[in-house]
Structure 1
């Protein structure tokens, strides 16, 4: 990579569920309409990431934790209030704008037979739709279930982190459109530092469930290029709690297969040698 690695930090504590990121993503990337089907369980009308949904705003309704009504702002003075709440009828919305994680160790890259998927100079992972042959190997390879094939031609699509905009020195459309700066874009190392400070701020304000997800370079995917501040367990947001790159064990598997093949060849050679001796 010739450029500094960039990424997304999504602070879900200030997401208001406006879906401006979804709209901006579709408009800039000319992504087709995908049904807008309500789940009948929430105001979520896109349901999940897919070939025609590169940004997905999740709405999770749950009982409000006792002891707090407001979160501190991302910048400036804290507005947190210690107001006893909770009990019957008290609910809160957890909102989060999900996106492709642009993994450091991306399994989709490992399994792509045509080179359609590639790592850009910004450290992001992009699908070249004109090279994709629709084999679908990348779909089960993704530990997050992000990438998907479009049914009419079988080609795979996902977030490109607006690769064309990055090349022109512009930030991705979703981050540009976010009115609360829930979606922050920039150099990945700077975002990780900023995220750690934000978690500390929330903990000091009494929001003890605040945690980072996908920020650790030592996790099962080598750290994500798009990571999150969550207010509950990852499973609540539909995220795997401990994602692991699905091609992690491929080298060991090939080594075992090679050892087995050599053992088989050795056994066959011994059989032929013994057969030859018997005929003599």
Structure 2
């Protein structure tokens, strides 16, 4: 059975006239920058080298003067989310960068010392738990010694509580951000022009024009855009548009100590990501994959894409995002056809009544 993705002709109808879906060679020119303009820029986030330091979160908040949030979204308050080290929880109007912490574990068999029944330690007439019923009074001591010997201690990992080949706990960390999609549904539905495409190919919100209608919030397939509760206006990552116009890199990429967040020309980042993926796969990391790299996906490719070490759902990302305005041309066509049919039926009824 052939699976149908969001980019399949069965869903998109592969209509070359549909400018709301499919690859676009030059998003800036499509937005009206007909004269010479900079190359499209973007983010490549390599999660395999993210250490979860949150330097990107801090730099983003500091540069953009974003207020603090507690777990309930209350501004200018510090709270705990209760989600491990993840205190921001998700992207929002006041958190344009979010470092996710994902702890992956599985049940493993570990060597455990025999402990015996309460009050029955070293009693030969009572079987010792976890030890063979040999009647040997030294069974418990021998079992403990087998675990606490020098070799076991050398292999024991105090962070995971596991030994040797049983070390199956790992942390996955990733700095999430607005994807600056090739086809941005938020931009398509904005009635005031508050959302616009820059000459760098990024998508930016103009807060002084936003009227707080909220149409863009459900139009984002990634759930990135969020409204502030006090005035209803939306806020999201601008890829530091003010810094780009001055020839500087975004604050988050500048602050990242491991180059997990890389900024540059999008085509160069894509080539770099392809090479990095090939290297990891050669090293046996079979679960490594690129997310948002494919220009044939449901949003025409993202301006901020990722190298993941597991399924997108593990990181809280949709597996097959589709721009919400993709089917608007077909919907308008169907509506026009339906309206024409209704007019035809009405005319037929009127003409038929006159003949009588």
User: With structure 1 as the length reference, what TM-score do the two structures score?
Assistant: 0.90
**1:227 corresponding residue in structure 2:** 305
Query: Gaps (5+ residues) in structure 1?
Result: 67-82
Q: Deviations over 1:135-154 (max 9, x none)?
A: 10000000000001101000
TM-aligned CA deviation for residue 203 of structure 1: 1.1
Q: Which residue of 1 aligns with 2:262?
A: 184
The alignment partner of 1:139 has SS state of helix
Measured in 2, the distance between the counterparts of 1:205 and 1:39 equals 36
Task: Work out whether residues 61 and 92 of structure 1, in 8 Å CA contact, stay in contact via their aligned partners in 2.
Answer: yes
**Cα distance in 2, alignment partners of residues 23 and 215 from structure 1:** 27
Whether 1:147 aligns to 2:225 is: yes
Of 252, 268, 277, the match for 2:346: 268
Q: Which runs of 5+ in 2 are unaligned?
A: 1-27, 29-36, 71-77, 109-162
| 2:291 matches 1:256 | no
The Cα shift of 1:204 comes to: 1.3
* Map of 1:114 onto structure 2: 192
- Picking from 63, 78, 88, the partner of 1:28 is 63
Show the counterpart of 1:39.
Answer: 81
Contact 1:59 1:95 in 2 (8 A): yes
Residue 168 of structure 1 is matched in structure 2 by 246
2:215 is matched with: 137
| Partner in structure 2 of residue 194 of structure 1 | 272
Q: TM-score, normalised by structure 2?
A: 0.71
TM-superposed CA distance for 1:235, in Å, is 0.2
Q: What pairs up with 1:71-86 in 2 under 5 angstroms?
A: 85-86=165-166
1: CA distance, partners of 2:189 / 2:103: 37
User: What residue in structure 2 maps to residue 125 of structure 1?
Assistant: 203
Note the alpha carbon deviations across 1:151-192, whole angstroms, 9 max, x for none: 100001100000000000100000000000000000000000
CA contact (8 A) 2:83 2:89 kept: no
* 2:107 maps to 1:61: no
**Contact 2:52–2:174 under 8 Å retained in 1:** yes
Query: What SS class does the counterpart of residue 68 from structure 2 fall into?
Result: coil
Give the secondary structure class of the aligned counterpart of 2:173: strand
Aligned-pair distance for 1:271?
1.1
Output one character per residue of 1:194-252: Cα deviation in whole Å (capped at 9) or x when no partner: 00110111111111111100000110000000000000000000000011101111110
What's the counterpart of residue 46 of structure 2?
11
| Deviations 1:111-156, CA, capped at 9 Å, x for gaps | 1001100000000000000111111000000000000110100001
Q: 1:84 Cα deviation (Å)?
A: 5.8
Structure of greater Rg = 2
**Which secondary structure does the structure 2 equivalent of 1:274 belong to?**
helix
State the alpha-carbon separation in 2 of the partners of residues 176 and 227 from structure 1: 17
**Matched-pair contact (CA < 8 Å) for 1:63–1:86:** no
Which position in structure 2 is the counterpart of 1:240?
Answer: 318
Does the CA contact (< 8 Å) of 2:291 and 2:305 recur in 1?
yes
Q: CA deviation at 1:273?
A: 1.1
Instruction: Report how many aligned residue pairs link the two structures.
Output: 260
Query: Which residue in the other structure is 2:74 paired with?
Result: none
SS of the residue 1:93 aligns to: strand
